[in-house]
Amino acid sequence: MVEKTPLLDFFTYAFLMLGIFIVGFPIIYSLIAATLPLEEVSKVPMPLIPGDQFMVNMKEAWSRGDLGTQIMNSFIMASGITFGKIVVSMIGAFSIVYFDYKFRVVAFASVFCTLMLPVEVRILPTYEMAANVLSPLQAIWDLLHLNGLVSWFSGNDISVTLNWSLLDSYSGLVFPLIASATCTFLFRQFFLTVPEELCEAAKMDGASPMTFFRKILFPLSKTNIAALVVIEFVYGYNQYLWPLLVTTNPKMTTAVIGLQNLIPQADDLPEWNLALGAAVLVMLPPVLVVLFMQRWFVKGLIEKEK
Amino acid sequence: MIKRSFFKSKYLPYLLILPQMLVTLTFFYWPAIQGIIQSFLLSDPFGRQSKFVWFYNYIELFTDPLYLKSIFTTLVFSIAVASVSISLGLFIASMANRALRAKALVRTMLIWPYAVAPAISGIMWLFLLHPSYGVVALAIKKWLGVDWNPVLYGSDAMVMIVMASAWKQVSYNFVFFMAGLQAVPKSLIEAAAIDGASPFKRFWYITFPLLSPTFFFLTVMNIIYSFFETFGIIHTVTQGGPGGSTNILVYKVYQDGFVGLNLGSSSAQSVVLMSLIIVITFLQFKFVEKKVQYGG
Amino acid sequence: MKLRKLSVILIIALGIAFPAAVFAKPITINWWHAQRSARGEVVKNMINEFNASQSDYEVVGTFKGNYDETMNAGVAAFRAKKQPHLLQVFEVGTQTMMLSGAVYPVFKLMKDMGYDVDWSRYLQAVLSYYMNADGNLMSMPFNSSTPIMYYNVDMFKKAGIAPLSKSTPVTWDEMGEITKKLVSGGIAPAGLVTGWQSWTQIENYSAIHNIPFASKANGYEGLDCELMINNPQVVNHITRLKTWADDKRFMYGGQKYQGPKSEFIAQNAAIYIDSISGIAKLKKAVKDFKWDTAPLPVEAGTAKPQNSIIGGASNWVLNGHSKAEYKGVAAFLKFLASNKMQEYWHMETGYFPITIDSYESLKAKGYYAANPFQEVGINQLNRAIPTKISRGLRLGYFVQIRNIINEELELVWNGKKSPQKALNDAVARSNVQLRTFEKTYK
């Protein structure tokens, strides 16, 4: 502090407390609601003194919402996306930065173009794609009239149908969301800052590219990876539109989508205590990840800007 | 910028880039092309017949007052979300930056809403602002004397989704402003203080201009956030109602395409969104380039 | 095996969409439906009963989300050639399904499989919703309901209003008097709330008074139909509700969350118009007052009110399966239409029994004498032979049209538009949808 400003300092702390309170209010309120029985929670206004029904409500929400399965699904999806994105983009960036080949510029440009386009803007065709990942091949097959050829060749009326559906599967939840350029871009930026001498030295020692990657580049990237793990885990866990469409089987539903079923609808009893209890529970994994990996997370967020 | 030192290998680079290319081609380029083609077609949902209709879907779209209204709604919504969350984020960050003690604790207390899914934020705010149970709704009714009813009034519903969307975004903005504020050279501030500039003046004339790149970046990010990621909030809280007053573009794509099964129109809407975001990205990169020039 | 139509299908199945039981001993029949929680349990019991009753087929029921999600899943599966045998589709999807070319019409299926079904022994107002222009049944009705009126008996007593008749409908003028007494006497905070406003206040209002909802016999006779709901009668009705809204005789309850039903349960409104399928839930939820049911109101001077129309969903048989499997589908549909199943379904859920036989069997058992409110809907549905106008609605993009109507009505309730203007706009906007739909299929 440059000079003494006791009044301003007082307001600083007062506003900070207020800010923290406002930011925290929805969750405090939800937590209180989760401890109350139904009669209390539907009182207007709801009492602000916590009740003793927390475990009862949580148990009920857990079994009614099938939260165990759903949180597991969310966890698998988030981890899959995180792992997939980081692996795919890291080796991709490695290829772009450390090798010189004709295709390089094309590859980088084509990946770069996808930088800001979220899955939401191409949702319908991506869904069709997920319904049959082999549809491009099928289209080519049909275009070339290969059915006729095969039939002629074998002497039977044979039609070939190429079909691989990702709907209602983990691969369907994960793969389309791996398609994102941000991580590749980030790793590329980072690799460019790695001193060239390291690469030169490795070549001098006769190390293979993969050894260089494993022994030097990977250890150097650890902080970046940690930061991306946090960001991508949160991103994956909180996905909404895509899982909503791609899964219809209740056993494959993710937690954030599944919560919908617990929100009291026009027809139901106003069991907000269950809905909010479940909401707090479902948000816990990514919140914990962010809190415990705060340092890397902040670094990662800021880094993404550059 | 480009490395001069390369490894030599015939197949390895192709092998390494292959997964990325495969994923990008299958889940980005192919669907994008399909979407563009589909936007020129009228086809039945079962895919038995489709007809090429030139720009019919686009013409229908831009002559539909509802679509134009949806564009307007989206703009209002995203500007509201961006301004509320950015100003709050900046305010809290500058306060936190002044508080020399407990900085880490304050950050911890403010950072976690980032990790809350938009849909969950929607559920919590739905409860707070629920016309019959919500405690905040009650306060609004009692103290402000407003006939609060988001089921009936579009403006109330809009306030509801703006609150739910901005709340979560405050912590995101806070993190960036904190970083930006810490990067402001102490010497500058001290020099100004010696010259007798008050804390407010110092903030306005020194800190704020230095934060402007962050500011611009956050504006873009918040607008993109409110364009797309808020889908979960709309879907859980208002479903676009009442009277279409919260039907933002991305929700309309979903409604027309997946609920209404009008594939052509939905695809045309996606193409419009795609073009929009390409423009935003372009603008942003132009700006980033400027920043680089400034820095170098 | 006929070599003529041998197809080689390469399926790389990573998903667990189908627990591949194609070659298992009993033939698997897949049924995708949208019934969850309590109704889902009832469906499960019906399936189990069928599976236990014979050993040739095994029906596998899968809950696929709400109605639009289920339809979407069906469409996507059909495109990927992995469609189920039976798909439950809500009534607004009827036109899309009929034109899809993806269905095996139910009347044909039953005939082909050797079942001689006497369709005249079914509730005609239910069947007519799912018949094509030639009067052939395209899909099997499953859950069908119609709107009726629920009222708070205690409040009526307090206001000195006589209980409503279960057979003769009150007039809307009388409704005005009744709600006035209830509200101005301070007995009820609001008079009337309604669920599914497009369905109850426009679609059914039109049918009951034999007013066309759309041209070309409500769309049955051509894709080139146009909406006609901006006629004086409907405009008058909506204007009346708006006037009532201003003095609390009518209250808009929203479409979700703060739904109309909770207003009725919380005694914020004395009268409530909604589907008969709500009976089961009201029975459970209402503890502190007595309620009863009555037919929907009619305009004064309506000599003979028409039947109301149905809502709900039907089961569609999808193309692309073998004859042996279709035999199982037919057997299952036959089983579902049996008296035992229909009675069980009706008693558990409140949805109509679809055959006259099951209705009469219930009647003979004294079920309606014990539960008189259950009969109101059936009588309202059966009180007249359906006309070309009251048999149902057959519109393309009906989902969007309902949305449009809901939106425009909401703009009336919050005072942004006059009823005439809102209904004009609803017609204009819906017609654009209808033209696009027509263009797609022409």
Q: What is the pLDDT of residue C223?
A: 93
Residue range B256-278: mean pLDDT, rounded = 89
* Per-chain mean pLDDT for chain C: 88
* Chain B (146-165) residues lying within 8 Å, Cβ to Cβ, of chain A: none
Comparing alpha-carbon positions, the chain A residue that sits nearest to C278 is: A267
Tens-digit pLDDT profile for residues C167-195: 999 999 999 999 999 999 899 999 999 98
A265 vs C257: CB contact, 8 Å cut-off? yes
Task: Enumerate the β-bridge partners of residue C273.
Answer: C149, C194
A176 in reach of chain C (CB within 8 A): no
Task: Enumerate the β-bridge partners of residue C62.
Answer: C32
A12 in reach of chain B (CB within 8 A): yes
Rounded to 5 degrees, what are φ and ψ at B250? -70, -30
Query: Would residue B261 be called left, alpha or beta, if left means φ above 0 and alpha means ψ between -120 and 50 degrees?
Result: left
A114 in reach of chain C (CB within 8 A): no
Residue among A134, A142, A183, A184 at smallest CA distance from A163: A134
A88 vs B1: CB contact, 8 Å cut-off? no
ipTM summary value: 0.86
Q: What is the pLDDT of residue C229?
A: 96
CA atoms of C145 and C274, how far apart (whole Å): 10
Task: Enumerate the β-bridge partners of residue C313.
Answer: C90, C143
The terminus-to-terminus CA distance of chain C in angstroms comes to 38
Tell me if residue A99 falls in helix, strand or coil: strand
CA atoms of B261 and B258, how far apart (whole Å): 5
Rounded to 5 degrees, what are φ and ψ at C174? -65, -35
- Please say whether the beta carbons of C345 and C312 come within 8 A: no
- Residue C22 pLDDT greater than 60, yes or no: no
Give chain C as a 3 state SS string: CCHHHCEEEEECCCCCCCCCCCCCCCEEEEEEECCCHHHHHHHHHHHHHHHHHCCCEEEEEEECCCHHHHHHHHHHHHHCCCCCCEEEEEHHHHHHHHHCCCECCHHHHHHHCCCCCCHHHECHHHHHHHECCCCCECCEEEEEECEEEEEEHHHHHHCCCCCCCCCCCCEHHHHHHHHHHHHHCCCCCEEEEECCHHHHHHHHHHHHCCCCCEHHHHCCCCCCCCECCCCHHHHHHHHHHHHHHHCCCECCCCCCCCCHHHHHHCCCEEEEEEEHHHHHHHHHHCCCCCEEEECCCECCCCCCCCCCCCEEEEEEEECCCCHHHHHHHHHHHHHHCCHHHHHHHHHHHCCCCCEHHHHHHHHHCCHHHHCHHHHHHHHHHHCCCCCCCCCCCCCCCHHHHHHHHHHHHHHHHCCCCCHHHHHHHHHHHHHHHHHHHHHHHC
C264 in reach of chain B (CB within 8 A): no
B53 in reach of chain C (CB within 8 A): yes
* Chain A (211-270) residues lying within 8 Å, Cβ to Cβ, of chain B: 212, 234, 237-238, 240-241, 244-245, 256-257, 259-260, 263, 270
- Residue C13 pLDDT greater than 50, yes or no: no
**Among the partner residues C8, C36, C69, nearest to A160 by beta-carbon distance:** C8
- Please state, for a pLDDT cut of 90, what percent of chain B lies above it: 33
Crossing angle of helices A67-98 and A170-178, rounded to 10° = 30
CA atoms of A57 and A163, how far apart (whole Å): 44
Tens-digit pLDDT profile for residues A180-229: 788 888 888 888 888 888 888 888 888 888 889 998 899 999 888 988 89
B68 in reach of chain C (CB within 8 A): no
Tell me if residue B151 falls in helix, strand or coil: coil
* Size of the B and C interface in Cβ pairs below 8 Å: 95
Q: What is the pLDDT of residue B62?
A: 93
B152 in reach of chain C (CB within 8 A): yes
Of the CA atoms within 13 Å of residue C301, those in its CB half-sphere come to 0
Tens-digit pLDDT profile for residues B151-210: 888 999 999 999 999 999 999 999 889 888 888 888 888 888 888 888 788 888 888 888
Residues of chain C contacting residue B255, judged by C-beta atoms under 8 Å apart = 403
- Best A43, A63, A76, A165 member to test C by mutation, with max C CBs in 10 Å, is A165
Residues of chain A contacting residue C6, judged by C-beta atoms under 8 Å apart = 156-158
**Among the partner residues B107, B115, B270, nearest to A234 by beta-carbon distance:** B115
Residues of chain B contacting residue A256, judged by C-beta atoms under 8 Å apart = 117, 119-120, 232
CB atoms within 10 A of CB C397: 26
* Per-chain mean pLDDT for chain B: 86
Q: What is the pLDDT of residue A303?
A: 65
B257 vs A240: CB contact, 8 Å cut-off? no
- Please state, for a pLDDT cut of 70, what percent of chain C lies above it: 94
Distance of CA C356 to the CA centre of its chain: 18
- Please say whether the beta carbons of B126 and B236 come within 8 A: yes
Tens-digit pLDDT profile for residues B13-38: 899 999 999 988 888 888 888 889 99
Tens-digit pLDDT profile for residues C188-244: 999 999 988 999 999 999 999 999 999 999 999 999 999 999 999 999 999 999 999
The terminus-to-terminus CA distance of chain A in angstroms comes to 30
Task: Enumerate the β-bridge partners of residue B222.
Answer: none
- Please say whether the beta carbons of B153 and A278 come within 8 A: no
A154 in reach of chain C (CB within 8 A): no
Tens-digit pLDDT profile for residues B111-157: 889 999 999 999 999 889 888 778 888 888 888 888 888 888 899 99
Containing A244, the helix (H) or strand (E) segment is helix A241-246
Burial class (CB in 10 A: 0-12, 13-18, 19+), C36: middle
Comparing alpha-carbon positions, the chain B residue that sits nearest to C255 is: B151
Of the CA atoms within 13 Å of residue C13, those in its CB half-sphere come to 12
Tens-digit pLDDT profile for residues A87-146: 999 999 999 888 888 888 888 888 887 777 777 778 888 888 888 888 778 777 777 777
B64 in reach of chain C (CB within 8 A): yes
CA atoms of C199 and C310, how far apart (whole Å): 9
Decide which of A162 and C57 is more confident: C57
- Please say whether the beta carbons of A160 and A168 come within 8 A: no
Tens-digit pLDDT profile for residues C375-433: 999 999 989 989 999 999 999 999 889 989 999 999 999 899 999 999 999 999 999 99
Pair of tokens at residue B150: 């988001």
Q: What is the pLDDT of residue B139?
A: 87
The contacts of residue C5 (CB under 8 Å, 6+ apart) are A157
B130 in reach of chain C (CB within 8 A): yes
* C-alpha distance from A249 to closest chain C C-alpha (Å): 6
Tens-digit pLDDT profile for residues A287-303: 999 988 888 888 777 76
**Among the partner residues A5, A120, A290, nearest to B250 by beta-carbon distance:** A120
- Please say whether the beta carbons of B78 and B231 come within 8 A: no
Residue range C272-294: mean pLDDT, rounded = 87
Query: What does pTM read for this prediction?
Result: 0.87
**How does residue B100 score in pLDDT terms, banded at 50, 70 and 90?**
low
CA A285, A290, A296, A298 torsion: positive or negative? positive
- Please state, for a pLDDT cut of 90, what percent of chain A lies above it: 20
Residues of chain B contacting residue A92, judged by C-beta atoms under 8 Å apart = 16-17, 19-20
Comparing alpha-carbon positions, the chain A residue that sits nearest to B265 is: A124
A161 vs C10: CB contact, 8 Å cut-off? yes
CA atoms of C183 and C161, how far apart (whole Å): 13
C5 vs A266: CB contact, 8 Å cut-off? no
CA atoms of C435 and B57, how far apart (whole Å): 12
- Residue C23 pLDDT greater than 70, yes or no: no
Residues of chain A contacting residue C82, judged by C-beta atoms under 8 Å apart = 163, 165
